[in-house]
Structure 1
Amino acid sequence: MADTRLIQGRYRLLELIGRGGMGEVWQARDESLGRRVAVKCLKPLGPQHDQTFIRVLRERFRREARVAAALQHRGVTVVHDFGEHEGVLYLVMELLEGRNLSQLMEDNEQHPLPVSDVVDIADQVADALAYTHEQNIVHRDLKPANIMRLTDGTVKICDFGIARLGHDIGFTSRLTGTGIAMGTPHYMSPEQIGGGHVDHRSDLYSLGCVLYEIATGAPPFDLGDSWSVLVGHRDTAPRPLRSHRPELPGFIDEIVLDLLAKTPEERPADAKDLRRRIGAGRVTDTPAAGTAPPPLLGHGGGEPGLPSWTRGMTSGHKAVTVPALRALPPDLTAGLTGEWTTGVDLRGPAPVRLPRPERPTPSPELLAVLTGRHNAGLSLGRLEDSYRMAEEVAAARSRVLGAGHPDTLATRYEVAYALGQLGRWTEALQTYRDVAGARVQALGPDHPDTLAARYEIGISLGRLGRSAEALEQYRALVTDRTRVHGAADPETLRARHGLGVNLGRLDRWEEALAEARDVCAVRERVLGPDHPDTLVSRREVAVGLGWLGRWSDALAVYEQVAESRERVLGAGHPDALASRNDQAHCLEQLGRGGEAAELYRRVAALRRQSGAG
């Protein structure tokens, strides 16, 4: 691919940024949307493969790529597009600014990463795996090179589906005489090595290997040759992490050793359970005797004046880009008190009132606490608790940073979201409006965060039944999104979707149907036919057809949406079940009650089965 500069007349290859066993990764420019992307070009198929095999492989590639493109989570790399160009299969992905964990280790001269980084990476990867495993998707090749740490601290998993393709194509070597696919031996689970059944717990084992390496500086079985490594996975108990590095928290040592259990049944039940244990450990764990507490990221030693729950917490990123849902337990719902915001020196043996100007420069430690409280509020299970904490953190950030600071506005945005979730839409609307106005002043009218707040204003107006105002809100937003980001940008299309929904609420169904069809066509071209946003638009087309009394046409579209969701998500996924319910309702409208009743029974059985599983 080195001499190919333009793929499919759209993706301009600019710079080779990676090369491995599967092929090459290029930094590229999407000429249609004017954005930078990463293009992974898989190795071309050689003459040793017959045409039947190649056809099967291409279909497998399309299926895996569609699955990867359907994943929508902050911890998973976004797949924008895929296809084949001059015999080469390619994936178009978001371009990530950062370093993978293997590179971070190299940058650190193979020394282990800071304790706070290890804990944060474990938490974020567990969150992403919890999501993907709920979609019944197993990565199968989790390793440091497939986990990216972005410049803002976000952690993303890359290459879902690619491992199985590599096995099919034959890029992975095989152990002579064993028939065992090598993959990446340092991170393979015992069941992978033995050719047994592989499920989500294999990913948990691989994560344990990754965490062991970034915490100690070497994988758990860092032996001389591949065979010895595989035997180590199968037969040898790993040494405790704190025998390599005594300052590691006890809970990390225990969790990683549990992940490295030889049989799947002995490992944590799932990634959700893993996140719960990490969250609990961050709060309750104490350092090993004779060791210092883990430092805050980017600072020296821990601050003895800070409360115990801040131990190991990273100083975070600006709240406008903070990954949500840090796992913190419910007992952290107590609000910020004056000691955090009124100039009390927390470092001495007793609080001492300090003289302060009107607004002093806050310490990094204080900002870390505020960021941690912001994140904690996002993870609370009860909406009332999330709302209360967001209110308190917004007030504290306003005192420390100022009412118009982007971090203060990020927390006020969360206040508005919690109000909406609680059904308090009038208050949510006013708060979103306040945030949008303040963001215009602080960030500018075209900043993505300003535009995001304007979108939520439209949502709130619609929820309040003020659809005419919502319609005008979305019209203006579509105009500005198109000017700033382009007509085919996903956020522009999301605003257009909101516009179409409110046309329907105003009984302007012909216009709503036309808008839904147009948005669906663009989303299909830009995002793919099975992308969740495309399917939402396709369902909106069916809704419009139904309201216009065109039930036969609506039924065909509902069936198409249901089949796509079942193919990508599985028959028991809530979205797939909802689509089958739509289909059954449509059958009722057509007078086909027997078929509708049978479909309703099938949906009910699948729902019970999914609940039992």
Structure 2
Amino acid sequence: MTADTSRWQRLRTIFDELVELPPAEQDRRLEALPAEELELRAEIRSLLQAERRAGNRFEHAPTLADEFSDILPDDPKPGARIGPYRVAREIGRGGMGAVYEAFRDDAAFTKRVAIKTVPSGRDTEQILRRFRHERQILARLDHKNIAALLDGGVSEDGRPYFAMEYVEGERIDLYCDRLRLGLRERLQLMRQVCAAVHYAHQHLVVHRDLKPSNVLVAPDGTVKLLDFGIAKLVDPGDSDEQLTESGVLPMTTSYASPEQLRGDLVNTATDVYSLGLMLYELLAGRRAFQVGELPLLEARRRMLEEAPPPPGVNGEIDSIILMALRKEPERRYASVERLSGDLSRYLSGLPIHAQPDSFGYRARKFASRHRAAVGAMGVILLTLIGGLVVTLWQFGIARRERAKTEAVNRFLQDLLATSASDGNSTSPPQGQRTVSEVLDAATRRLETENLSANPGVKATLQQIIGSSYLSQGQYALAEQNLRAALAAQGHLFGENSPEMLRTLLSLAQLSLTKADYAGAEDFFQRRITILRREEKRGTIPPEMLASALSDFGVLRRARGNSKEAELLLREAIALKPTIAPESRGGLGQVETLLALTWLDQGKFAEAEEYARRLIAGFRALPNPATASLCSGLTLLGSILMERGELVEAQAELEEAEKLYRQLFDANYAPIYDNIRLQAQVDYLAGRLSEGLVKIDRALDQYRRHAGTQYVNFATALTVKGLILGKAGRADEAERILREAAGLRAAHLPNEHFMTALTKGALGEVLLSRRRFAEAEPLLVESYATLKQTQATDNRRVQGARQRLVELYTAWNRPELLSKLP
């Protein structure tokens, strides 16, 4: 390394240390430099003064271009053009790029943007590589809390540029102080920051430079995350070596994590740490490490070795911040989503997951720092062993849990790029074939990888893979993995542990899909109270309880109690404020199910209004292609069919089926519920041959994967009987409808509306065969039940009454006809 190179690295390191500090602290630190570095001190002071004059929000890394600016090409001036954009003014400048406010005002459209380009004299290969890297990162990201990439290209003088969303805002710390925001408002802003960072992590991007100056708040309170200039792709092909110069890793030291300061590899835990530093500063009004007057090496030593003092906000907030700021990455929150979730739980008055370091952990750290002293106190420590054994055993469990989380996360990295869409992602939906291949590969790897020393890791992975297969409609593989996980978890964690409850819930969901209502009933009756209790204790997340309540509602509806189902679904939806926004994807289907219970009760107008509102919300998501949109469209199609609007009903059902097939396996059960409804629309529209083909497809699928006990199997038989009856095949129709009536009697209460509809269909076929005496009791019961269970002026009730009118007219019983209410 040459002397010039060494001097340059020293200058850059010191500048990075000082640039984020207040001017007074900068001066004190500069004065502390050795006397032999007076020239270096003057040069750094000059750069810092230039930085302050520019009011730059972006990281500034000086280059030799600063000394030769008079002979370099001019940077764009106001009125100059960069591609199709006209420059208005410079708004920021750093070592990697200059940022300008600009307007696109050509024939295409007019738009205000922020243009980032490489400044004159800084277009070295390393800078250009980092510039292209930032543009590549931004192209992957599309989130409401991240300044969006709009365009890119090369200017007339050959410099690359890209256009970003222009953010009219104020850096987050200044915004909070100016408005004198309280604790709650500041936490809500930080949860927006967390949402942006979590989204980036989902797309395999680590920011690595999170700090107040890179977070702006718009006048309406919307947070925007900026500057992905040193972000890192979590990708085997991505190398920091390509983004560094002379082996110096890019960072802002004041907001760097211990692993960054050491030059270790970084991952998502690095951003968790930086968010902890931001939280500390935003809530405590000071930085976590007060090292302004210390020499640089001593400052780094303290940041690496010493824990920051508690912020002094309150006990719970202090615990959250200090957990994020733990030196060891594996001891921090496992993800930004977990950090945000704890902030949400605090805001909702619920128990948080963060806990202060245990005595056992602090004792171990003390022993590692003071081995001689501990040795001398050995006799005294023996008296404490009895009390420490349990504490250290608990610490061992916690440590193993963290290690398990890390191992699981590493194993599942391959699944991130092809994970199923949840509606909050902007990635295009992946085809089922791709997801299946990834799950199959994960299963094969799990079988071959030696995890005998980590049975908890293996069981967790089996549960995750099994649940993924279940969500994709691959039921045999789902059960295989879930049963294996359950067997291991019973020995490892014990009955009713969070791990075992999660696996049992997935198996209950599988039972529901297979119409094994007795198996599902056993789980919910025995454990729904336990799940409610554990959610209050904070040992399971609220979204897990919401899922259980929703599935219990599905079971109650399948067993004939739509009103109890409605109560359970409302309880699930009431948990929404306690669930982190990024974890609310499943609530869309819960809300759809709620509308379905209204449909059961004949409240068609209310159900339609609610369904249309849900669908509008699903379509407004960054990626609307979700299971929630599929179920919403299917629900709306069903409502429209009941209301006699057959053309629109068919359109909604066909759109839902097409999307289902894009997202899920061909055996996914809801696809065939959708096809059953399409067959019913065909029947009502008089397309009997088309309807018969569709209903046979649905029945075949039900027989193979659910069995005759599935509530919609009897519904499909009822539809087929009606089609055959209208087609003049009365013998077949009667046989099928009697089978359906028998299944209704076996699985649903006699007063259930579905039982009434099947009885009415059988009575209609008997009426067509002029077997009036047999038809009458069926039609009378059907009408009475529907009048009792359905809303007034309901088409189901009207249809049941019309059948009685036709019966008494054909039977020539005017005295009975006159008594009809």
Q: TM-score, normalised by structure 1?
A: 0.46
Higher helix share: 2
TM-score normalised by L of structure 2:
0.36
Higher radius of gyration, 1 or 2: 2
Higher RCO (CA 8 Å, separation ≥ 6 residues): 1
